[in-house]
Amino acid sequence: MKIVSIVGARPQFIKCAPVSRALRKDHQEILVHTGQHYDENMSGIFFEELSIPTPDYHLGIGSGSHGAQTGRMLAAIEEVLLKEVPDMVLVYGDTNSTLAGALAAAKLHIPVAHVEAGLRSFDRSMPEEINRVLTDHASDLLFVPTQNGVANLAREGIQKGVYRVGDVMVDALLFNRELAGRSDILDRLDLEAGAYYLATVHRASNTDDEQHLRSIMDSFVALDRPVIFPAHPRTRKYLEQYGIAPEPISNIRLIEPLPYLDMLQLLGQAAAVLTDSGGVQKEAYILQVPCITLRENTEWVETVEDGWNVLAGADTNRIIAAVNQITGERRNQQNGQFRTHSAHYGDGTAADAIRRIISAFDKE
């Protein structure tokens, strides 16, 4: 079977790595990089570090409004599909690259497989939520990480082609954890394990809203440990535009985006992480690092239910209180156990399950 896999953003590169390794055992894979993340630290270095094959197509779409970016991707992906005539298109997650790939394939009557299907934040103001819903309804195979995801799809009338396979991010973490342990990022940043917080902020609801971004930065300044803040290019742009200068007058250390293995090591050794990223919430849970989510909702509800994640929005006082609450509980933990920790996201075999299901689909 010839499969066109479409990626475009950092989290998708991570998810793609284990699936690509599995698929290439049985199938021909054509890898398409839309160029949604085009900075070298946000894109190129990931392919080398994670041993992802060099993309067969790099569309170079770059940034833009949601409509313009998705439209350019749709046209460019359609050209690739008409040339390659694949048997299936595989998309990941919830970005504009995801939706464009699914729409282009569906319009050409090519089966669509969606990795990380069924997630819902139930907040239609999030572009990612729109992308998730539309992609799921255009898909023939829906690879769902959790039972909650299966239930979400059933409520929307989607039951055919739904497979709970676990989460490919667990596959990636287990595969890369030992390599990440060799990273010297703590030495390079002169940090001690457990003596800092890690922060990531990139969602438009936080970066494009001056009050939200100021409130988040104010909370970081007030925390009791240094905040290491690898700044997404979008976030850095708005920090400059709003005249917010977190350095050198505060404990916020603004640094460039990091390669995956450095980021994984920095996350695993943090006292807690403060983030608006869905992927980072889940990685923190898997690594058993407390998380404060800078949003009012999450698609990874299991992390909240198990007590490892607190939703704090963009309110300064709520963020500070959430950090104090979750880190205080961890300091007071007894018998070496902090809250509940369950294997909601599988055991690291999701990629192989995806390979087997796609192979069976090919025989139908």
The yes-or-no answer on residue 202 being catalytic is yes
Please give the structure tokens belonging to residue 89: 């298109």
**Inter-CA distances, 132 with 33, 121, 281, 344, Å:** 19, 10, 18, 20
Packed helices 127-137 and 96-107: angle between N→C axes, nearest 10 degrees: 30
**4 beta partners:** 30, 89
Q: How many residues in the chain?
A: 364
Give the pTM: 0.88
CA separation for the pair 72, 67 (Å, rounded):
9
Cβ-proximal residues to 250 (8 Å cutoff; 6+ apart), any chain: 220, 221
**163 beta partners:** 143
Of 33, 37, 114, 202, which one is the catalytic site residue?
202
Equal CATH topology for 2-167+346-363 and 176-331: yes
Say which CATH topology domain 2-167+346-363 has: Rossmann fold (3.40.50)
Confidence (pLDDT) at 179: 86
CATH code of the region 176-331: 3.40.50.2000
Could you state, in order of their start, the residue ranges of all structural domains in the chain? 2-167+346-363, 176-331
Confidence (pLDDT) at 340: 63
Contact, 140 vs 111, CB < 8 A? yes
pLDDT < 70 regions, the chain: 37-46, 247-249, 329-341, 363-364
Confidence (pLDDT) at 48: 78
Positive or negative torsion for Cα 218, 219, 224, 229: negative
Nearest to 276, CA basis, from 194, 217, 199: 199
